Amino acid sequence: MPIVIEALIPTFFLVGLGLYIRRSGFVPEEQWAGLETLSYWLFFPALIFNVLTNADLKNVPLGGMTATLVLTVITMTVALLTLYPLFKKTSSIDNPSYTSICQGVLRWNGFIALSVVQKLYGNDAMALVAVAMAAMIPLLNVIVVGILATFASKSTPNFKNVLINIFKNPLIWASVGGLAFNMMEVPIWDPLKTTIDITARAGLSTGLLIVGAGLRLRDTFPPSMSVWLGTSLRLLGMPLLTIGFGLMMGLSGDALEVAVICTAVPTAMNGYVLAKKMGGNAPLLAAITTFQTFLSAATIPLFLALLK
């Protein structure tokens, strides 16, 4: 347990530092968008590619990991859709708020997952997180856009554009490329390899600072019923489903723990822009993300202790 907490301290310290830097005005508000773009298109893809090309994947249960996480996402999606009438009746949750709860429950923050896994298990285990991204990012985008289109959007979305955006996602290409280079044992020219490695080093630290900069305390406290709902289903429901499906798929040890970390981390703030564009409740999603980020510092160690 102390080792897990030690692994979380630098992760959440950088998140807190990002929050402080944004609130202090040391980095102007408009400059964070440029840093986010650079991180999304360059730093983080380089990190994923670098991890996968250098990882020893011979003993990694790629199939079991992928199946576990996909089943978790699909099951929770079905549960959220089934509970929709109950939310409307008992909690007076309107459609835009419902879509933000769904985003808050289903999306996950790869920056935090990679940071925790690197500290606890090393680079080979980080490859599992990268594989999880390749498996879940396309699925989650289709599900989330479908939910927003059905329950919040005033116009019919162009699913062709959704598929094009998924196809252009640099994280997916970095994952697929890294896996291909690793499995085919394609050598990388040493100067290029060094360049990728240097670029990758900026990935985690920059990503965690951006996570912190995106937190919105004003919209979060005191947390509403919708915030509690989105937080409990994400931080408790998703990891419990992952444990169940992971055991069914034969996962154990580090592989099962990494899978649980991927579903126990808080949601990502990148759904905020999508919520604004498609009629969701963007401030609620920001509040859910912020509240989850604070509470996950306690729930992640608890789940890992349970698995131990």
- The CATH number of the domain holding residue 142 is 1.20.1530.20
* Number of domains the chain contains: 1
Residues 6+ apart with CB under 8 A from 162: 141, 142, 145
Higher pLDDT, 242 or 144: 242
| Full residue range of the structural domain in which residue 281 is found | 2-307
In this prediction, residue 158 carries a pLDDT of 63
How far apart (Å, rounded) are the C-alpha atoms in residues 44 and 209? 13
Residues 236-248: tens digit of each pLDDT:
999 999 999 999 9
Inter-residue contact 262 to 68 (CB < 8 Å): no
Of the pLDDT bands very low, low, confident and very high (cuts 50, 70, 90), residue 157 is: low
The amino acid sitting at 282 is A
Report CA-CA distances (Å) from 294 to 71, 80, 215, 258, 289.
27, 23, 10, 20, 9
Token couple for 186: 């394609």
Other CB atoms within 10 Å distance of the CB of residue 167: 10
The yes-or-no verdict on residue 9 having pLDDT over 90 is no
123-151 vs 170-183: helix crossing angle, rounded to 10? 150
Tokens representing 283 are: 């401030």
Asked if 93 contacts 101 with a C-beta cutoff of 8 angstroms, the reply is yes
- The pair of structure tokens assigned to 206 is 């920059």
Cα–Cα distance measured from residue 159 to residue 145, given in angstroms and rounded to the nearest whole number: 9
**pLDDT tens profile 86-132:** 888 877 789 999 999 999 999 998 889 988 998 888 877 888 888 88
pTM of the model: 0.85
